[in-house]
């Protein structure tokens, strides 16, 4: 299997980039959080992870760790936000937008 790498901020020197080894995700479930607002609008929100990596120490070529020895993970993510409007709300927006 080919290992993949990305450039990520150094966890202890944020102005410096280091290599991060991308970890394989074996199982993933990303669900929508759904919020219904008082005006009938529904907002759907989902956090999607693009990749998870561990920073590599450029001097030792080993994973960097916290001072207490715990591993450090870098999570690259995207938030998807989808508003769903009731028909009446869309009609109101169109009237305001086009002056109808």
**DSSP-derived secondary structure for the chain:** ----EEEEE-SS-TTSEEEEEEEPPS----PPEEEE-TTS-EEEEEEEEEEEEEEB-TTT-SB-B-TTS-B--EEEEEEEEEEE--HHHHHHHHHHHHT-
Q: Splitting the chain (100 residues) into consecutive groups of 10 residues, what average pLDDT does each group show?
A: 94 96 94 96 97 97 97 98 90 70
pTM (2 decimals)? Answer: 0.78
* pLDDT value of residue 92: 75
Residue 74 · residue 52 · CB < 8 Å: yes
């Amino acid at each position: 299997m080919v290992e993949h790498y990305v450039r990520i901020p150094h966890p202890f020197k944020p102005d410096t980039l280091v290599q991060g080894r991308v970890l394989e995700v074996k199982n993933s479930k990303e669900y929508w959080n759904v919020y219904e607002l008082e005006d009938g609008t529904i907002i759907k929100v989902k956090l999607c992870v693009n990749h998870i990596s561990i920073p590599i120490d450029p001097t030792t070529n080993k994973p960097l760790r916290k001072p207490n020895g715990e591993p450090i993970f870098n999570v690259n993510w995207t938030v998807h936000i989808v508003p769903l409007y009731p028909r009446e709300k869309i009609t109101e927006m169109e009237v305001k937008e086009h002056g109808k």
